[in-house]
């Protein structure tokens, strides 16, 4: 379970995330939607202990994301918005390294790397330097790294942004499988198709404030409105300062 308790963050005098209170249930796929600059990455970086909250807190399965940051990293798989890899490591080596960092013995880490490369369709490029991967391959490798320790919770920042339609579909299918296996997934995106297809519930963040939360059907109010219309309406008005 993910519990946001009045979590807030400012950069100088600019408040990027206003006090956010929200609960995401175990096994739920929650879409964190918002336009550019809404505060999605800032929120996720606080969840991963990369940024210190200005006030409030966020707990993941009872662990405080700031105070217990190391334990959170063991419990959570994280895909950053722009995964960066060591220049002179091959895809297979990176995955194996990440698995070893999570405590797997070398043979188990090598087996885990092979299994993930196979599952993500990266077999053919396993021995290429990851720095030369295409954007889609990097996202897949990043996601494979996030899954290396089979975490209970996945936090994904724009997992299909910039991918071609097939790569985007592949990644979504992999995530849907993980969700069906009971993982809690918190996924930020501004791609509404993906939210509609994957998410049990969504929250729309606009200028640092949660403007709407609910299932896609609830947000559409049972009417004929599309999620796009709901999104555009929720993010249309200037947020109150
Ligand atoms: N290090 C920083 N210093 C100052 N302002 C920042 C910093 N990082 C983010 N911001 C500002 O905070 C706001 C929220 O940014 P954030 O990156 O969280 O948005 P986002 O919803 O992830 O956007 P995008 O979809 O474009 O990635 C933006 O106005 C951004 O300019």
Considering the domain boundaries, does residue 72 fall inside one? yes
Question: According to the model, what pLDDT value does residue 144 have?
Answer: 93
Considering the domain boundaries, does residue 92 fall inside one? no
Q: Is 240 in the pocket of ligand 1 (CB under 6 A)?
A: no
Pocket test for ligand 1, best of 8, 36, 41, 204 (most atoms within 8 A of CB): 41
Ligand 1 center to 16 CA (angstroms): 7
DSSP helix/strand/coil, 175: helix
Range list of β-strands (E), the chain: 2-11, 14-24, 29-33, 55-60, 63-64, 76-79, 153-157, 184-189, 201-206, 209-214
Q: Is 47 in the pocket of ligand 1 (CB under 6 A)?
A: no
Domain that holds residue 145: 2-85+133-234
Q: Is 34 in the pocket of ligand 1 (CB under 6 A)?
A: yes
Q: Which CATH number is 51's domain given?
A: 3.40.50.300
Of 50, 54, 76, nearest to 187 by C-alpha is: 76
Considering the domain boundaries, does residue 113 fall inside one? no
Question: According to the model, what pLDDT value does residue 233 have?
Answer: 82
Question: According to the model, what pLDDT value does residue 22 have?
Answer: 96
Ligand 1 center to 78 CA (angstroms): 18
DSSP secondary structure of 101-139:
HTT--HHHHHHHHHHHHHHTT-GGGTTSBGGGS-HHHHH
Question: According to the model, what pLDDT value does residue 175 have?
Answer: 87
Question: According to the model, what pLDDT value does residue 235 have?
Answer: 83
Q: Which residues of 59-85 are buried (b: 16+ CB within 10 A; e: fewer)?
A: bbeebbbbebeebbbebbbbbbbebeb
Considering the domain boundaries, does residue 125 fall inside one? no
Tell me the ipTM for this assembly. Answer: 0.96
Split into its structural domains, the chain has a count of 1
Considering the domain boundaries, does residue 137 fall inside one? yes
Considering the domain boundaries, does residue 9 fall inside one? yes
Question: According to the model, what pLDDT value does residue 223 have?
Answer: 67
User: What percent of the chain clears pLDDT 70, i.e. is strictly above it?
Assistant: 97
Considering the domain boundaries, does residue 104 fall inside one? no
Can you list the residues of the chain whose pLDDT is less than 50? 240-241
Q: Is 190 in the pocket of ligand 1 (CB under 6 A)?
A: yes
Q: Is 42 in the pocket of ligand 1 (CB under 6 A)?
A: yes
Ligand 1 center to 1 CA (angstroms): 25
Q: Which residues contact 44 (CB under 8 A, 6 or more apart)?
A: 32, 78, 155, 157, 186, 188
Considering the domain boundaries, does residue 114 fall inside one? no
Q: How far is CA 90 from the centre of its chain?
A: 24
Q: Is 239 in the pocket of ligand 1 (CB under 6 A)?
A: no
105-138 residue pLDDT tens = 999 999 999 999 998 889 999 999 999 998 888 9
Question: According to the model, what pLDDT value does residue 154 have?
Answer: 96
48-59 residue pLDDT tens = 999 999 999 999
């Amino acid at each position: 379970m993910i519990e946001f308790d009045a979590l807030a963050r400012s950069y100088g005098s600019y408040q990027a995330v206003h006090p956010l209170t929200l609960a995401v249930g175990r096994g739920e796929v929650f879409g964190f939607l918002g336009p550019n600059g809404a505060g999605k990455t800032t929120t996720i970086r606080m969840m991963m202990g990369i940024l210190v909250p200005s006030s409030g807190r966020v707990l993941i399965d009872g662990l405080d994301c700031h105070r217990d940051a190391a334990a959170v990293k063991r419990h959570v798989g994280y895909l950053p918005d722009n995964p960066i890899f060591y220049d002179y490591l091959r895809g297979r080596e990176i995955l194996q390294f990440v698995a070893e960092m999570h405590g797997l013995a070398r043979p188990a880490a090598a087996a885990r790397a092979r299994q993930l490369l196979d599952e993500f369709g990266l077999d053919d490029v396993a021995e290429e330097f990851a720095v030369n991967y295409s954007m889609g391959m990097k996202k897949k490798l990043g996601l494979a790294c996030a899954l290396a320790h089979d975490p209970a919770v996945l936090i994904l920042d724009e997992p299909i942004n910039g991918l071609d339609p097939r790569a985007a579909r592949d990644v979504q299918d992999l995530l849907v499988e993980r969700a069906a296996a009971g993982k809690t997934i918190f996924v930020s995106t501004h791609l509404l198709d993906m939210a509609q297809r994957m998410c049990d519930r969504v929250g729309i963040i606009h200028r640092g404030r949660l403007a709407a939360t609910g299932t896609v059907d609830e947000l559409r109010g049972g009417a004929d409105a599309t999620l796009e219309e709901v999104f555009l309406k929720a993010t249309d008005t200037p947020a109150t300062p």
